[in-house]
């Protein structure tokens, strides 16, 4: 399973804002969206294009349009923080949702909702900002594969080595794009140094 960690000073700057405990929800949401642009661009960097002929104001030239349809699947709640990034860059992307809640004792995912558009033949971006144990992301990938997805990329903000290992075991065919690979999980299964609970910080809940 390939993992790509963004190596860009702008990504590092934005991630620092997200990590800061003093960043309030409005700025946190804005910063997550801006970082999402870089993550989504990287997640689509290997997308094939179709050659098309267009007319500029001066002459005819050859351009390129994305070949495959794109589907973004937001893992609720935190994945909503990256959804607008996808829609800004790819306005015609289809949207799916995967509702999963973490069992606080076992850190394993508990499903409560799924809704997907057609996934066959699409590049499916799984928006799961926190790759901690890997349980939620692995579950979401299982779900989209059961519904016909064959080209899947995971888009994360921070990842822990434990989650990366889980992905290598469960889904070695899925590429992971992340802004950082952090040190480890703490005893409560949170990523350290991490940025806390992304859902809570996006929406101001405790």
82-120 exposure pattern, b = at least 16 Cβ within 10 A, e = fewer: bbebbeeebeebbebbbbbebeeeebebeeeebebeebe
DSSP 8-state code for residue 124: E
Query: Is 142 among the catalytic positions?
Result: no
Query: Is 102 among the catalytic positions?
Result: yes
Query: Is 106 among the catalytic positions?
Result: yes
> Which one of the listed residues 34, 142, 170, 197 is annotated catalytic?
197
Helices and strands, number each (H, E), in the chain? 6, 14
> Which one of the listed residues 102, 166, 175, 201 is annotated catalytic?
102
Query: Is 182 among the catalytic positions?
Result: no
Q: Find out whether 94 and 118 touch, Cβ atoms under 8 Å.
A: yes
> Which one of the listed residues 88, 106, 118, 150 is annotated catalytic?
106
- How far is Cα 158 from Cα 145, in angstroms, rounded to an integer? 23
Query: What residues are labeled active site?
Result: 102, 106, 197, 200
């Amino acid at each position: 399973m390939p993992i790509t960690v963004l190596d860009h000073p702008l990504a590092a700057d934005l991630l620092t804002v997200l990590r800061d405990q003093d960043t309030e929800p409005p700025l946190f949401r804005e910063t997550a969206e801006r970082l999402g642009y870089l993550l989504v661009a990287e997640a689509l960097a290997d997308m094939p294009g179709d050659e098309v002929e267009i007319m500029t104001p001066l002459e005819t030239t050859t351009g390129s349009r994305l070949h495959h349809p794109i589907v973004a699947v937001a893992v609720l709640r935190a994945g909503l923080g990256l959804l607008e990034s996808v829609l800004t860059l790819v306005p015609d992307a289809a949207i799916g949702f995967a509702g999963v809640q973490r069992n606080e004792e076992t850190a394993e995912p508990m499903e409560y909702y799924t809704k997907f558009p057609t996934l066959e033949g699409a590049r499916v971006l799984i928006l799961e900002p926190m790759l901690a144990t890997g349980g939620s992301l692995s579950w979401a990938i299982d779900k989209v594969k059961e519904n016909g997805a064959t080209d899947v990329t995971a888009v994360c903000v921070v990842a822990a080595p434990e989650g990366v290992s889980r992905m290598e075991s469960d889904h070695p065919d899925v590429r992971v794009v992340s802004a950082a690979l952090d040190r480890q999980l703490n005893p409560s299964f949170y990523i350290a140094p991490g940025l806390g609970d992304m859902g809570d910080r996006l929406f101001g809940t405790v």
